[in-house]
Each structure stands twice: as structure tokens, then as C-alpha cells.
Structure 1
Amino acid sequence: MKLIGSTTSPFARKVRVVLAEKKLDYQFVLEDVWASDEIQKINPLGKVPALVMEGGQDSITGSMFDSRVIVEYLDNLSPVGKLIPDKGRERAEVRTWEALADGVLDAGILVRLEKTWSGRSEPQRSAAWIERQMGKVHAGLAAMDQALADKSWCASNHFTLADIAVGCCLGWLSFRFPELAWQQQHANLARHLDKLSQRQSFQDTAPAL
């Protein structure tokens, strides 16, 4: 398999952590979606990550995209370290955690683009838009922190995709928004990220320029 992504994308990192935890072999191909349109041959939306499946071609028909789709596919490739429950309330809980963490990331990425995208001049940048999106970031962090009180893992009583999604979210916020200092207000999340950061899969995929 070939994973197209970047070392700064939290969604690509989520897939990379799953690949490591599932002990699956793959080739990691770096792609800068802001400097090249090559990704659109695989994902017409022009986003990473995208997975070219083993034996497939570098085209839409031989690939899949969106990190949530990819991680579910990968989790079913091997019985090793099952990360997503098969059905029922436990499955819904894990996927809800993932949706919450991904939603915080979506809002954070919109803030970063509003602040830094070269396609906007300074007068065009919207403080109201930034404030609205940051409100989602803060609300999401508060909800996750409260839900982690007196819990060892996000969902169930063991490591799941929920923990991976949350860890990648928090790692990206620390990487792109160090001034946010979210750890000071969310001790449960800070504790959880410290624990996740001890896993080799997280150490090997830490975001980097």
C-alpha cells in the first residue's frame, strides 16, 4: 500500500498511527497540496491523506480517501490490535470521539488558513470568523477533557481509534498553536497525551516541518 500525505497533516498522522499499531507495511509518499495538484489524480478534493491500495493504480479507482474511511479499511485488514468495535454502542462511542477530535481539527485548520493563507490580504482576514472557529476548538477541548475525568482511555477500557484521533488532534494543536497552551486548562487531556506520547506509533509520527 502507498499512503499519500504530509508530516504535518493530523489526518495523515491518524492513518500512520493506525498503520503502525496494526503492524501493516506501507510506503509513505510526501505530498504538498499547496504546491502541486498531483493529489487530485487520486482524490479529486485535493486533500491528504489518500491510500493507494496494494495492486491498485495511482488513480481514483485504485485508491480511497478521507482518514475515517481509510482507518476503518485498515482496521479490518488485520485482527491485530482491533481499534474499532464491530457494532453497537461501543462502536458508536469510538466513532463519536473520532468525530469530535476531527471536528476540533477542522475548526483549527480553518483558523490557521484564515490567519496565514497568502491568498488573503490582512484587511480581508476576519476576526469574527477566527473567533467563531476558536470557540469550537475550546468547546471541543472542554468536552473531551470532562469526558476523560477518571478514565484511562477515551472509550471502553482499552486503547482504540478514539485515543488515536484525540492524540493526533492534541499533537497538532500543540504544533500549530503553541500559544493556546491548552494543557493549562485541560489537565485530563494533558495527562492522556503524555500517556499516548509514550507509544512508539506516536513518537514515530510526531508532526514536523
Structure 2
Amino acid sequence: MRLIASLSSPYVRKVRIVLAEKKLDYELVLDDPWAAGGQTAVHNPLGKIPCLILDENEALFDSRVIVEYLDTLSPVGRLIPPPGRERIVTKHWEATADGIMDAATSIVQETRRRPAEQQSTAWIERQTGKIHAALDYMDSLLGEQPYCVGVNLCLADIAVGAALGYLDFRNPNLDWRAQHANLARLAEKLDDRPSFLSTRPPAN
């Protein structure tokens, strides 16, 4: 398998953490989805990363689709529960964490890819509001549980950890830990795992 990726993408990091936890071999192919003539557009009509190329040269894209497929490849460290309420709860956590990534990457695109005079303060504030609301929601939902769903690591924790890591990477002034002690505790635990340590984004 080949993973077309950028080291700064939180969606890519989520997939790479799953690959590490599942102990699956793959080739990392770095690509800039914004650049003309790159690999991303060849395999994904939406022009987005991550994109997983299977042995048959078939392409899978969208991180949620990719991680669900990866979890079927090995019984090692099952990350998504079987159909039922626990699975829905896990996917609900993932959707919320992905929503934080969506808002945070939208802010990055607005502030880094648009000239200052064209940037919308209202748009940035709206996305920031989404992040704060989602953090409040997840912190309350987590409570004192050791992990997002039950007592073992699952995809929910990986998605949340990737989202929180991206906030540290791109929005360090947000200081989300100050108001979200439960999430801070979870993040500290996750950050010690080899899968998280080995996938940290490079310095700005």
C-alpha cells in the first residue's frame, strides 16, 4: 500500500496513527495537494489527502473511509467496534474530532493562503467558535473516563488526539488545555504512545 500524504495534515496523521497501531506496512508518498502536477489529483478527483493506493492500484480517499478499511486488514488492535451502539459512539467521536480539524484547517487556509486584505475576520471567528464549542462538548462527554469509549484505545481516541495535536501545531495561542482538563489528560496519555510520537508534524 502507498499513502499519498502531507506531514502537516491532521487527517493524514490520523491514518498514519492507525497504520502504526495496526502494525501495517506501507509506503509514504509525500505530495502537495495544492501543487500542479502532483500525485493527489491523479488518484483523487477531489484533490485531497490522504489517499491510499492499494496493491491493485485502486485508490481510497477520505480519512474516515481509509481508517475503516485499515481496521479490517488485521485483527491486531481492533479500533472500530462491531455494528451496534458502541460503534456509533466511536464514529460520533470521530466526526466531532474531524469537525475540529475541518474548522482549524479552514482557518489555516484563510490566513496562510489568502492575502491579508482578502481575509475574512468573521469567517475566522466562526471557525474558531466551532472549535471552542466542540472542545467544550468533548471535554464534558469524556469526563473522567480513561478513553473516549470504554477502557481501551479506539479510533475515537486517535481522531481526538490528531485534532488536538493539530491545534497545538497550527493554533498554539488557543491554549485549549486551560479550559479542558479532561481532554488535556487524554492528550498527555496519547502523546506518549509510539504511534503518536512517530507521527508528530514537523516544526512550522
TM-score, structure 1 normalization = 0.94
Q: 2:112 aligns with which of 109, 112, 116?
A: 116
Q: 2:187 aligns with which of 187, 190, 193?
A: 193
Q: Deviation per CA, 1:165-189, whole angstroms, max 9, x where unpaired? A: 0000000100001111111111111
SS in 1 for 2:28: strand
SS in 1 for 2:91: helix
Aligned to 2:4: 4
Number of equivalenced pairs:
202
Aligned to 2:78: 82
1:30-179 matches, cutoff 5 A: 30-38=30-38, 39-54=40-55, 56-57=56-57, 62-117=58-113, 120-179=114-173
Aligned to 1:29: 29
**Unpaired stretches in structure 2, ≥5 consecutive residues:** none
1:108 and 1:133 in contact (8 A); partners too: yes
In 2, Cα distance between equivalents of 1:173 and 1:43: 26
SS in 1 for 2:149: coil
- Cα RMSD (Å) of the superposition? 1.0
Aligned residue identity for 1:71: V
In 2, Cα distance between equivalents of 1:116 and 1:75: 34
In 2, Cα distance between equivalents of 1:50 and 1:108: 20
Q: Deviation per CA, 1:122-175, whole angstroms, max 9, x where unpaired? A: 222111111111100000011111111110000122110000000000001000
**Unpaired stretches in structure 1, ≥5 consecutive residues:** none
In 2, Cα distance between equivalents of 1:37 and 1:72: 29
